[in-house]
Amino acid sequence: MSSDGATDGDGRAGTARELDLGIDSFGRLVLVTPDGRRHVGVEPVRAFPISDPRRWVSFCDPDGREVLSLQSIDELSPAARQLVEEELALREFVPVIVRIERVSGEGAPSQWEVVTDRGPTHFALDNEDDVRRLGAHRVLITDSRKLRYQIPDSRALDHHSRRILERFF
């Protein structure tokens, strides 16, 4: 690995300053690696979000495969660092839905009114695929602004909420 460490998924090293990061017209993060490969829809993921949040950030493709590992976000250009920090903040802010009050319509797009562990809120859902099961009873919902909401155990929801959620599976 180079001294200001960026390593791609094949183990090739480069420098963090050689990375090109931006947002495309669909709001997806685009990463261009030092060798010129373009990766659309990558997500930054911290390896140690609590103990060492500024070091070891992976960029994963939409299928969850790592395309680049970055030793430290401090090595990025100021603009790229700000973009990565904004994307990480979106990813790591995950309110827990404790009740689903109402969902407009039978499919997507739809408007959701929910109660979370941080209070009541509403959001838009663009696509039914944005409601995903993560195991037998855990659910992750990504709204149109890319904010994520989780339901750690759908069995813990009240009957009304479970019936609404069942429409999406």
The predicted-structure confidence for 89-143, as pLDDT tens digits, reads as follows 887 888 999 999 999 977 778 999 999 999 999 999 998 889 999 889 999 999 9
- Cα–Cα distances in Å, from 11 out to 34, 66, 107, 155, 158? 13, 11, 43, 42, 48
User: For the chain, how many structural domains are there in total?
Assistant: 2
Q: What b-and-e string marks burial along 41-68, b requiring 16 or more CB atoms within 10 Å of the CB?
A: ebbbbbeeeeeeeebbbbbbbeeeeebb
Residue 10, domain extent: 5-92
User: Which residue among 59, 92, 125 closes a domain?
Assistant: 92
User: Which of the residue ranges 8-22, 94-108, 128-142, 148-162 would you say has the lowest mean pLDDT?
Assistant: 8-22
Task: Grade residue 5 by pLDDT with cuts at 50, 70 and 90.
Answer: low
Looking at residues 135-158, what average pLDDT do you find? 92
Are 64 and 141 within one domain? no
List, in sequence order, every residue forming a beta bridge with 106; answer none if it has no partner.
none
Pairing of strands 5-8, 66-72: antiparallel
Residue 77 and residue 132 in one domain: no
pLDDT for the residue 1: 35
Residues 106 and 36 in one domain: no
Same domain, 9 and 83: yes
Q: What angle do CA 96, 102, 103 make, to 5 degrees?
A: 95
Q: Are residues 45 and 31 in the same domain?
A: yes
Backbone φ/ψ region at 14: left (φ over 0), alpha (ψ -120 to 50), beta: beta
If asked whether residues 19 and 85 sit together in one domain, one would say: yes
According to the model, what pLDDT value does residue 11 have?
A: 53
**Which of the four pLDDT bands, split at 50, 70 and 90, describes residue 168?**
confident
Which of 92, 109, 136 corresponds to the end of one domain?
A: 92
What the block records as the tokens of 46 is 């911290």
Do 52 and 125 share a domain, yes or no?
A: no
Give how far the C-alpha of residue 61 lies from the chain's centroid of Cα atoms, to the nearest Å.
Answer: 11
**Is there a single domain that holds both residue 113 and residue 81?**
no
> Does 111 lie in the same domain as 85?
no
Write out the two tokens for 6.
């960026």
Percent with pLDDT over 70 in the chain: 89
> Looking at residue 10, what is its pLDDT?
58
**Rg of the chain (C-alpha set):** 18
- Last residue of one domain, picked from the residues 92, 122, 144: 92
Residues 78 and 152 in one domain: no
pTM score of the predicted model: 0.55
Separation between Cα atoms, residue 119 and residue 107, nearest integer Å: 25
Answer yes or no: are the C-beta atoms of 50 and 43 closer than 8 Å.
Answer: no
> How many CB atoms within 10 Å of residue 114?
23
- Check pLDDT > 60 for residue 9: no
